[in-house]
Structure 1
Amino acid sequence: MEVDVMARGMRLDKLLAHAGCGTRSEIKRAVRLGRVEVNGAPARDPGMTVDPEGDAVSLDGKPVRYREYVYFMLNKPPGVISATEDAREKTVIDLLQAEDRVRNPFPVGRLDKDTEGLLLLTNDGRLAHELLSPRKHVDKVYEAVVAGAVGEADVRAFEAGVTLDDGYRTMPALLAVTEVRESEDGPLSQVSVTIREGKFHQVKRMFEAVGKRVVRLRRIAMGPLRLDPSLPPGMYRELTEEEMEALAAIAAGAWSER
Structure 2
Amino acid sequence: PGERRPATWKVSIPDVQRKADKLERFISKAGALSRTATREKVRAGGVRVNGVVQRDPWFMVRPDLETVEVDGVGLIQMPDRSRIPITVVIFNKPAGVVVTLRPNDP
> Which range, TM-score by smaller chain?
0.5 to 0.7
Is 2:21 the partner of 1:64?
no
Q: Judging by fraction of residues, say which structure has more strand.
A: 1
After TM superposition, give the deviation of residue 4 of structure 1 in Å: 6.0
Partner residue of 1:41 out of 40, 52, 62: 52
Distance 2:55 2:78 in 1: 20
* Cα distance, 1:25–1:66 mapped onto 2, change above 3 Å: same
Which structure has the greater CA radius of gyration? 1
Count of aligned pairs: 80
After TM superposition, give the deviation of residue 13 of structure 1 in Å: 0.7
* Cα distance, 1:6–1:22 mapped onto 2, change above 3 Å: closer
Contact 1:5/1:53 (<8 A) preserved: no
Scaled by the length of structure 1, the TM-score of the pair is: 0.27
Runs of 4+ in 1 over 4 A off after TM superposition: none
Scaled by the length of structure 2, the TM-score of the pair is: 0.61
Per the alignment, in what secondary structure is the counterpart of residue 18 of structure 2?
Answer: coil
Corresponding letter in the other structure for 1:134: F
Aligned pairs for 1:123-138 (under 5 A) are 127=86, 130=88, 132-134=89-91
Give the aligned partner of residue 200 of structure 1.
99
In structure 2, the gaps of 5 or more residues are: 1-13, 101-106
Identity %: 27
After TM superposition, give the deviation of residue 65 of structure 1 in Å: 1.5
Q: CA RMSD in A?
A: 3.0
In structure 1, the gaps of 5 or more residues are: 70-126, 136-165, 169-198, 202-258
After TM superposition, give the deviation of residue 200 of structure 1 in Å: 3.3
